[in-house]
Amino acid sequence: MNRKTAKEADPGKNAARLGDFMCFAIYSTNLAYSRVYKPVLEKLGLTYPQYVTIICLWEEDDQTVKGLSEKLFLEPSTMTPMLKRLEAMGYVRRERDSEDERSVRVSLTDAGRELRVKAFAFREVTAKAAGLAPEEFRVLQKAIVNLRSNLIRASESIVLPDV
């Protein structure tokens, strides 16, 4: 085998670089977003999962733990301790469903609803940090949601090749 052919056969020669991986672009973007949200969340006294849970309840109050966990892509076992902390903070109330004792319903307290005014005051800060025009932001967000949906669908039927 000549020298050129050996180099071409080298699997490392055509290996993708870290910057070529979509998963790394999304992961590192998430870390950057977290840096922007950190001072906002500190002002609100919430973690990011707590924050998105509260947002989900602002959209639709009085939801089941199961329903919230599905919308937030979190396991119910992850939701329960977080909801207990939000309840201790006075933002939510948890009650057994009167029609199905196995189900727990979560609703906002007055303090949880009032938190919306405080949180929305920070929307401009996080939107401005993205550096995108409103239409660019909507297009990118839609593309990311589409990517997430595709990945969820694909993850349900992944077959790995034998190597």
The stretch 20-24 carries a mean pLDDT of 94
Total domain count for the chain?
1
Instruction: Let me know if residue 138 belongs to a domain.
Output: no
Structural domain that includes position 87: 37-121
| Residue 30 covered by a domain | no
The tens digit of pLDDT for each residue in 2-19 reads 555 555 555 666 778 999
Does 31 map to a domain? no
Q: Is residue 12 part of a domain?
A: no
Residues whose CB is less than 8 angstroms from the CB of residue 9 and which lie 6 or more positions away in sequence, other chains included:
1
DSSP output for 42-90 = HHHT--HHHHHHHHHHHHS-SEEHHHHHHHHT--HHHHHHHHHHHHHTT
Tell whether 69 is covered by a domain: yes
The pTM assigned to this predicted structure is 0.82
Residue 95, domain CATH: 1.10.10.10
Rounded-to-integer distance, Cα 107 and Cα 63, Å: 7
pLDDT computed for residue 4 by the predictor: 54
Q: Is 109 a member of any domain?
A: yes
